[in-house]
Amino acid sequence: MTRFSRRRMTRRREALPGGPLRRLAALVAASSAALLVGCGSAGEERAFDPAANPELARGELLSFACRACHGLAPGDPSPLGPTLHGMLGRRAGSLPGYDYSQALKDSGIVWTEETLDAWLARPDEYIPGNKMAFAGYRSADDRRALIEYLKLQTEKAP
């Protein structure tokens, strides 16, 4: 080992106290907390019991991939993509205030459970040329669970 690499390793060890596993655990805990802090509305409570409905609990878990870029409820931040609130029944690429790809604007689709299922399976194949950086969910069960959860969390109040 060279003198340079020993110095670098020493500096890294000093950054977080404890052994390697303790440092790893601290990093995992900190990154998990940071991820969960921004994942819902202030004061948001589950509208379902995860023990009574495991499919919705699975959908909630899968929705973290959506929440990285999209807000679900009114007022939720949408850092990269448009809000998903009220998306079912809305024409794709039509929400004001977001710069959609021309491919999505020209697609002519309306978001339904069926179109959302096809989109979530392979967005790049369903609407070629769209801007969403998401590979899709292969599992039909995962897509169904996510769609059920999104229906619950993104519906507009009557």
CATH value at residue 124: 1.10.760.10
User: Residue written as tokens 């007022």?
Assistant: 75
Its pTM surpasses 0.75: no
Evaluate if residue 11 carries a pLDDT over 60: no
Whole-angstrom Cα distance, residue 31 to residue 110?
Answer: 36
Whole-angstrom Cα distance, residue 5 to residue 144?
Answer: 50
List the domain range (segments joined by +) for residue 119.
54-154
* In a domain? residue 131: yes
Q: Is 88 found in the same domain as 10?
A: no
* pLDDT score of 145: 97
pLDDT tens digits, 13-72: 444 445 554 444 444 443 433 344 344 443 344 567 777 889 999 999 999 999 999 999
Count of domains for the chain: 2
Q: Is 84 found in the same domain as 7?
A: no
* In a domain? residue 86: yes
